Structure 1
């Protein structure tokens, strides 16, 4: 059929037959397609004890607001800073029990802030979860080499935030440094 015939067929009174749309899958069919979602929702989340103090250091007000909302809804207390210098100033006299630290910050970057946290005897044992919107694995590798306890890519979900925290909890539901755990995960299992 030529182009002219195709154009004429578009203007004919009898519309071409349209294939019926397939029916939408039922809820059980959708559930079977996403077992990871059901597993995650079926597992009860373990939170740190209520009142756990968390410092959020990120230059994005949106990220700070989202993290603050997630954490406060679970009973955490939050402190916020939009740059590393003001975040480090909030570490004394009452240090937080966990820190979310962005890598790219105005002035001092997150890696320099992490080094300062690890050099200070009063703060060196506070667990730090580094965050970045950059997909480069080098940031994660470098962060763990200088003392990050975990790494989270932005954007993140509520589930991921609490998953990262849960991995750092001890038996008393207090966040602890994960350095030995990260070393164990990096080691191959014996055959």
Structure 2
């Protein structure tokens, strides 16, 4: 079963994503901030990480940069999911090591397409 780690501080957003993904057979784990997300990524080794940007403490850009530069987690694809929709945010996310970027609100088709692409490498 494909394992996905959702890193987002919004209980509503994590509930929506978790429900959507579980309907399609994914195993979903939740982290509420960047620190917890990095810990869970190292411990659980998910197949894909869905990362919010704006979170307390370590933000999504910082967590993405740390995870993609850590040999233990660098092979895990990270897709940013954020309300921030500026081109500069997308460019910065890619520079931090994110594979892709989705703007909230997320549609099911877009989310599943990005996850499928991330899994294929």
User: Please, what TM-score do these two structures have when normalized by structure 2?
Assistant: 0.94
Aligned to 1:117: 67
The higher relative CO (CA closer than 8 Å, separation ≥ 6) is in 2
Higher percent of residues as strand: 2
Structure with higher Rg: it is: 1
| Partner residue, 1:28 | none
Per-residue CA distance 1:34-89 (angstroms, 9 max, x = gap): xxxxxxxxxxxxxxxxx101000001111101110111111110110111111111
Secondary structure of the 1:134 match is coil
- Equivalent position SS for 1:167: helix
Structure-1 separation of matches of 2:118 and 2:65? 20
- Structure 2 partner of 1:58: 8
TM-score normalised to the size of structure 1? 0.61
Deviations 1:122-148 (A, max 9, x none): 100100000110221110011112211
Gap regions ≥5 residues in structure 1: 1-50, 171-175, 177-191
SS in 1 for 2:64: helix
User: Structure 1 stretches (4+) deviating beyond 4 angstroms?
Assistant: none
1:94 aligns with 2:44: yes
Identify the match of residue 157 of structure 1 among 104, 107, 111: 107
Unaligned runs of 5+ in 2: none
User: 1:169: Cα distance to partner?
Assistant: 3.2
Paired residues in the alignment total: 121
